Structure 1
Amino acid sequence: MEGLLRQPEWRIIDQSAVGIHFQALQSFGTDDTLCASVGAGKAPATARTWVHHNTIVLGIQDTRLPFLQEGVQYLASQGYQPIVRNSGGLAVVLDEGVLNISLIFPEVEKGIDINRGYDVMWQLIQQMFADFPMLIEAREIVGSYCPGSYDLSIGGRKFAGISQRRLKRGVAVQIYLCVNGSGGKRAELVREFYRLAKKDTQTKFVYPDVVPEVMASLSELLGVELSIADVMLRLLKQLKANSDLLYAGQLNEYELCLFPGYYQRVVDRNEKIAEMVNSNC
């Protein structure tokens, strides 16, 4: 785990302050591009940070909800854009108080075990907030949205979730960190989405019964008002401590050529959701 976080160089692509016109679909297209590039040895290990305004990122299983159209139209009525991501998991809330971090590694000869990918992100977050006396646990928090065995929590309340994307010998480990704002209010939004999209129908897949009380932001849990910039500074310090060279960059020429194709795949995957939002609204 130490070896995976420790890299000869880290390139940081910071898109956390791009603004409201930077769409989540572009983000997922960018991470696929970076997977392909880093996996092909065309770029070093890369950390990308991103923030999106009022977006609900759905998982593939969410698209199979029996009354999905009612659910996505509700989200749109609340000012949120629903999209479908290309990595695992279920519905997640993104807004200006949520920082997303993607760590993109090349697959080594023996490959990167899936748990090792999760562990390295957990390790990074622990290091970033090591000056606080609270224990950051990685275990499933029942009642949270997008529950998983690597939910990050403090005192039984979840503030982050981790997913992975593997493509072309590249591995993207992605986390959403609820930095500030109300974790409970975000959970209420997702709970209402599932209420409308599932109703009382029995489904083969078990969707979460969201309990807002088990969700919180880091600011709420640590008792300190954190900003996205505060957390970015903590991230940069840890990446610098785990490399000989940390530098800011953008997509290189190879990646700029790849991006349109990967972005279009994400757009195509989301056409059905866009139609649902736009009909009868």
Structure 2
Amino acid sequence: MKIRTSLAVVRAALDARAAGASYVEMGRLAGVECTTARKWVLFAATQPEGWPTPADIAAQAAEDKAKAQKRARNAARARSYAKRRYLAGGAPLMVSSLGTARRLQALAALGWTTIDLAPLLGVSPSRVGHMTTGMYGQVFRSTAARVAAVYDELSMQVPVDPEETQRYLVKVHERQRKMALAKGYAPPLAWDDDQLDDPKARPAVEWRPRPPTRVEVLEEIDDEAGTVVDACARLKVSRKALERWCLRHGLNELYSRLVARANPDRPGASEHLRTAS
């Protein structure tokens, strides 16, 4: 049974009934119909003795107080919204979050993390993450303006990871760039700034970076004085498979240098690959 009346009133009515009061007198005392008072008596018979207890009454009072405070906060928020709407000349205070999400995604593609952006926007890192993913369909106009200002300031700056830092902070910006690329976040140069808020606008078609070819990877490892072990680990192939591939593509000398670095003390390590049988 759902009782909407204060349990303190119910307790007083039940005490009156125990003292010999009729249902009519109970109803008059509690301010309810006599049929409601009768339902209380029947319901009390199914509950533990002494219901409602002082603890039940205190719990209900605390719950009612919390609900009243929530209603007061909501009313204050509504008054604040109406006031700001009036001061804004009647313009809507909420705008689409599309442009905000695109700007934050573009900054993420450059490597800016939520921890970097949170103090600039005056919100928590989790809130930045929610706005980046477009969780909110709308944002306050003031929030969209702050994001746009930060975007204008950072859109041409690429954050650089320090050479030495705490372990859990190593290459955080590089990791952010990889995560943004995996999620399909377009960088600032892929967008026309005037179209970021246009739902019909799309980023440039060729904005995704081209993955390096196997030859480019091997040449980069060679320039960095890497070994054949580094090449196999980066390309995720076996040493025998890499050897055969280099033989087929005329990269004998490059492969020989990688092998020589891996076994500098081995006789003949600097010689070219044997001719494929």
> TM-score, structure 2 length as denominator?
0.21
Say which structure is richer in helix: 2
Name the structure, 1 or 2, with higher relative contact order (CA <8 Å, separation 6+). Answer: 1
Say which structure is richer in strand: 1
- Rg larger in 1 or in 2? 2
